[in-house]
Amino acid sequence: MRISLKPFNSFNLECSAKALIEASTPEALQHAWLEANRQNTPVMILGEGSNVLFLEDFDGTVIVNRIGGIAVTESDTAWHIHVGAGENWHKLVEYTLNNGMPGLENLALIPGCAGSSPIQNIGAYGVELKQVCEYVDCIELETGKTLRVDNATCRFGYRDSIFKHEYQNRYAITAVGLCLKKNWVPVLTYGDLIQLDAATVTPQEVFQSVCHMRQTKLPDPRVQGNAGSFFKNPVIGEAQAAQLMQTYPRMPHYPQTNGGVKLAAGWLIDQCQLKGYQTGGAAVHRQQALVLINADNATSADVVNLARTVRQRVGEQFNIWLEPEVRFIGHNGEVNAVERIS
């Protein structure tokens, strides 16, 4: 009998797996992985399924990482937080603020588990995980050996890390170590946050502003299935950005410290008049064009076809080819998302 994966993907798509195991310890996770390998079946590790698109039924075992626990130690200058990979990310943000440890407030309401945060190097409103991540604890799936990966070794990039490359199929994340500095400095560079006064603002006010922005602009996955931002914000060359600014002087753009200019993918999609555009049961959200939603019993094919249309329209108008931030999962495991929508 197959197991439904509908409760385990935030797109709320009908799909299934041959087996599903919830693991609450690193040992249980590794044991489930070894058992799937012994049976020669595909295996994947899932958090809360908030950044995946199942293209079809999965022909193997899904292991749901539910390793819990939060422990805090303190130094003169910072709080050091050790978080189990299965802890809910937003609840962790609330926990730190409620206990007087600011630093994560800009990352409020990002869906998913703590263990997924370093994989994508999650970020929002001017803050990325790499700025607060001290280490990532892993277990080597073949051997059960534990490994602590420091910040530099994680090779954090824009929505990228070593966990999407060399470590992807070799290690599973079991915990994340965060360092929150006691000399808190608010980051007020994006959205409604720019209206706040850096001299008087509190971490709680930043948190509330971020939550308000996300709740008013982004759909609740429990109401309309979605995986948050579907596409990455593209980073283009300075010359191309300058050329586009001549045509679109009000285009949001963010020069990067390491060169290039980041653009807002949602703005690009909106300029193509795609808000509300629907393919089958999948649609572009009317408030935030960066989000694709399950509007009416969408299939994975509907979502893929919609993503392909969005990418094509933006490419034709701006000569910028968007890449999905969401991971595409086929019947045997992850597949190349860009290839699927090209």
Catalytic positions, written as ranges: 159, 229, 325
Pairing state between β 291-294 and 225-229: antiparallel
CA distances in angstroms from 224 to 11, 48, 58, 91, 267, listed in the order given: 8, 16, 23, 21, 21
For the chain, the distance separating the N- and C-terminal CA atoms, rounded to the nearest angstrom, is: 35
Burial class (CB in 10 A: 0-12, 13-18, 19+), 165: exposed
User: Using CA atoms, how far apart are residues 242 and 80, in angstroms rounded to an integer?
Assistant: 42
User: Using CA atoms, how far apart are residues 176 and 165, in angstroms rounded to an integer?
Assistant: 18
Q: Are 38 and 80 in contact (CB under 8 A)?
A: no
Q: For helices 203-217 and 89-98, what crossing angle results, to 10°?
A: 150
Q: Are 275 and 304 in contact (CB under 8 A)?
A: no
178: its two tokens: 């965060």
In 204-263, the DSSP E strands lie at 225-229, 235-236, 253-255, 261-263
What does R_g of the chain's alpha carbons equal in angstroms?
Answer: 20
Q: What is the DSSP letter of 8?
A: G
User: Using CA atoms, how far apart are residues 113 and 109, in angstroms rounded to an integer?
Assistant: 11
Q: What is the DSSP letter of 7?
A: G
Q: Are 61 and 36 in contact (CB under 8 A)?
A: yes
